[in-house]
Amino acid sequence: MKLLSGPRQPFVGLAVVAAMGVIFADCFPLSPSTLLAISVLVVICALLVLRWPSLSATYAIVGAAFFLLHDLRSSNTEGQRLAAEIGNSPRVLRATGFVISEPKIAPNGFATFLLKLESIELEGRKHRTHASWLVRWRGTPEYGDELRLFGIAEVTAPPRNPGEFDMRSYLARRDVRRTFFVRYPEDGALVRHNGGNPILRAAQKSRAWMQNALCRGLEGSPDVQDFLNGIVLGLRHQTPEDIEEPFQQTGTLHLFAVAGLHVGIVAALLWMLATVARLSRKWATALIIPLLLFYAAVTGLHVSSVRAAVMTSILLGGFFFERKVFVLNSLAAAAFFLLCWNTNELFSTGFQLSFSVVGAIILFADPLFGVLRRWGAPDPFLPRSLLRGPRHFMHVAFEWLCRGASVSLAAWLGSLPFVLWYFHIVTPISLLANLVVVPIAFFILAIALLSLLLTPLLVWPAVIFNNANWFLAQVVLAIVHLLAQVPGGHFYLERPHWPQNDIAKITVLDLGAGAAVHLRTRSGDWLFDCGSDRTYQRVVREYLHAAGVNRLDGLLLTHGDSLHIGGATELLHDFPGVRLIDNPAPDRSAVHQRLQRLFQQREIKPNNLVAGDSFRLSGEVTGHVLFPPRVVSASIADDQTYVVQLFIPPSTSILFMSDSGLETERALLAYGLDLHSDIVVKGQHHSGQSGTDAFLDAVRPRLIIASSRDFPDYERISDEWAERVRTRRIKLFRQDETGAVTLRFDRNGWEAQSYFTGQIFRSSSQ
């Protein structure tokens, strides 16, 4: 309570009540008439408080003001009005507007950026608007460019699988309600350059110059260039995932977020230059503060950089006004001003992580330092001046170690709840990693800034500094990659939930024409297929992390389709030692052949099971291979996919068909097998034909989970087949409508739940 009412730290209380007002407004939106009435009441109360000041009344008014501010900014916005006007269906139209974010160029050549609209042309009519859209265009736009584009405006797709990033909600917080896809370069035209905010435009150009200066002499080391650009300029989107992931696993990913460390070094160097120039404290402060804010703009105006720049500016402002400044009050002031700028920042991951980490360091680092220091402190009755030689050195080193450990531990504790909630990862190794890596990063930043200062004057010393940074960057990368491999150094956890006594849980992921099925039993985790290389990295891997999978017991590859097994190489890197079951039937798949060569190189011996073989997923769950036989008679090579029947006690059976077609179904019927299964999981055969009446009569399922997508046509479930399934009173979960489907099995039966719609079907349903 003292923190809220402290006379020297007023922003602490103001920031807390402001956050509470924003949260209440987000949970309980009000009608315009109610908002108007509350606004009038708040104004009257504010006038009364000016006449008769009261701390509690001031906090109440600030909380109510932020409640109104967030409600007004979140209701009836430009983006909402335009979205309501054009509807939810994809619309072909022309749009004119300005690029208001730095374009991010993907490997396929598409640039992604935010466009502040001036107007749209729809069905021959021109509409004026100031909404913002997310644009994808195979062009080369720059910040501030005015563009005229022709394309398709569509609703941003929501996540279709557990663990998938919710881009739709992320953009909605910024009032971006549509994605505008411009297919060809010639569908876009540049109207004029150099629009937008002149300060931000100058910051963008300065960043490009800094990139060239930092990378001069390092042309042969793209990994080091990406690392330096990320750590110095905050260009995290240019950092490859194979570099970024080890930093996440060691809890050192914050190095790529320009924050207090970066801004502090810049401020220290600028202060040193001001001292050399013999400037007074007031003049030095007046020059450094705008330069720090410009550095935040250069690094992209991310929450962490803006927070650090505002905090440092407030601390330096104490020199200008000759007042004592409190660090916690400065942190709260930064939060307060950021919420004034945009109340939706409260719900961003960057805001929450940035302020929780710095707040934890301010509150807990000193107490932790005191506890750690007592473990190795010298005799308290011995004056410190009497410590000489090695003993003095050991005491100083121990104090430094305790200080670093206390800061690292406080930061880890402050970030742990949010890292676990958003990224599903716990990183005990970060306590050691930050102790080792952060001091090296300090020197990298200092050398980089010296290189930037010298480049306009002398090029060759700047190149020497860049090469020194090359060495330090290689050291950091080697240390981080090494620590990321430490057993138990990091592990993934599911979000907290009520304990469930499931015998098994199966998640059928929605990967379009691809496939990946996660089977979790009480004793292990299996995957049936793993998607393409792209979908594994973007969907399957993120799902496995969100599911808390740290060890994969088995991987079954159904057939050679790259959309089913293309991600196997990455998966084997993430989960070495996994048991492999590979389809031995011959095929013409180049991806499958490359995988088999990889198995030979790594001396991996997959199990080549055929019809009649069985394998155990746990002590209770067993899989039986029904197809292909040892000698394949099918005339189509691509129709030799695995068909597996899974038995889950007490009496549930599931038939995994993969992309089997008519030839496989006829063969299974000819074998005279007992195909009866409660659930069928199937894809679409390239012939467009599967799931015949005769086959459904033999299987007699209660539920079918089937992949479906619009393109190509044969991957879409036909309306005729869907109607035939319904007439048989079989429940159909088509994944173009349901997204991923989760199956849970216990002693009383089973249930299936759609991720996208939340629809539930139970074994007890009639």
Place 387 in a pLDDT band, splitting at 50, 70 and 90: low
Q: What is the CA radius of gyration of the chain?
A: 30
Cβ-contact 259, 308 below 8 angstroms: yes
Please give the angle made by the CA atoms of 162, 502 and 532, to the nearest 5 degrees.
Answer: 35
Q: What does the pLDDT read at residue 634? A: 46
Domains 78-196 and 494-762 share a fold: no
Q: What is the mean pLDDT of residues 319-328?
A: 70
Which of 527 and 631 is assigned the larger pLDDT? 527
Taking the C-alpha atoms of 231, 235, 240 and 241 in order, what is their torsion angle to the nearest 10 degrees? Answer: 80
Q: Are 414 and 331 in contact (CB under 8 A)?
A: no
| CB of 562 closer than 8 Å to CB of 591 | yes
* pLDDT (tens digit per residue) in 195-226: 777 877 888 888 888 888 888 888 888 888 88
Lowest-pLDDT range of 55-64, 178-187, 268-277, 633-642: 633-642
User: Which pLDDT band, with edges at 50, 70 and 90, does 599 fall under?
Assistant: very high
What phi, psi does 655 have (nearest 5°)?
-110, 115
Find the mean pLDDT for residues 166-174.
92
Q: What is the pLDDT of residues 333-378, one digit of tens each?
A: 888 988 998 899 899 888 888 888 888 888 898 888 888 877 766 6
In the prediction, which pLDDT does 349 show? 85
Both tokens of 260, joined, read: 């207090």
CA–CA gap between residue 94 and residue 97 (Å, rounded): 10
117 contacts 96 by C-beta, under 8 angstroms? yes
Tell me: the pLDDT tens digits for 608-644? Answer: 999 999 999 988 899 999 999 887 654 544 578 999 9
Q: In what order do the strands lie in the sheet with 652-658?
A: 614-616, 622-627, 643-648, 652-658, 679-682, 703-706, 731-734
Candidate from 225-239, 566-580, 749-763 with smallest mean pLDDT: 225-239
Strands (E), 183-285: 188-192
Q: Which residue type sits at 290?
A: P
Amino acid at 587: D
**CA–CA gap between residue 78 and residue 175 (Å, rounded):** 8
Identity at 245, one-letter amino acid code = E
Query: For the domain with range 78-196, which CATH number is right: 1.10.287, 1.10.3470, 2.40.160, 2.40.50?
Result: 2.40.50
> Which residues fall within 8 angstroms of residue 22, CB to CB, at 6 or more apart?
66, 67, 69, 70, 339, 343, 346
Burial of 727 (0-12, 13-18, 19+ CB in 10 A): exposed
Q: Which of 189-193, 194-198, 436-440, 626-630 has the lowest mean pLDDT?
A: 194-198
Regarding predicted confidence, which is higher, 728 or 499?
728
Highest mean pLDDT among 37-41, 404-408, 505-509 belongs to 505-509
Q: For the ranges 9-23, 234-248, 401-415, which has the lowest average pLDDT?
A: 234-248
Asked if pLDDT for residue 238 goes beyond 80, the answer is no
Mean pLDDT of 386-400: 66
d(CA 730, CA 682): 14
Any idea which residue has 């994808």 for tokens? 136
Q: Where are the domains of the chain?
A: 2-74, 78-196, 350-423, 494-762
pLDDT of residue 619: 85
Model pLDDT, residue 450: 85
Instruction: Calculate mean pLDDT across residues 134-157.
Output: 92
Cα–Cα distance measured from residue 469 to residue 440, given in angstroms and rounded to the nearest whole number: 10
CA–CA distance, 203 with 206 (Å, rounded to integer): 5
Which residue would you say has higher pLDDT here, 245 or 594?
594
Q: What are the tokens at 689?
A: 């034909």
pLDDT at 20 over 90: yes
Closest residue by Cα to residue 745 from 562, 537, 507: 507
pLDDT tens readout for residues 678-719: 999 999 988 878 889 999 999 999 999 999 988 788 888 988
Those residues whose C-beta lies under 8 Å from the C-beta of residue 724, and which sit 6 or more positions away, are 693, 696
Supply the pLDDT for residue 389: 63
pLDDT exceeds 80 at position 265: no
- Does residue 178 surpass a pLDDT of 90? yes
Q: pLDDT tens for residues 83-128?
A: 999 998 999 999 999 998 888 888 788 999 999 999 999 888 899 9
Domain boundaries 494-762, CATH class: alpha beta
Which is higher by pLDDT, 2 or 453? Answer: 453
Instruction: Supply the angle between the helices 198-215 and 459-484 in degrees, to the nearest 10.
Output: 80
Q: Are strands 132-137 and 176-182 parallel, antiparallel or unpaired?
A: parallel
C-alpha–C-alpha distance, residues 553 and 536, integer Å: 17
- What global pTM score does this model have? 0.88
| Per-residue model confidence (pLDDT) at position 545 | 94
pLDDT average, residue stretch 379-388:
58
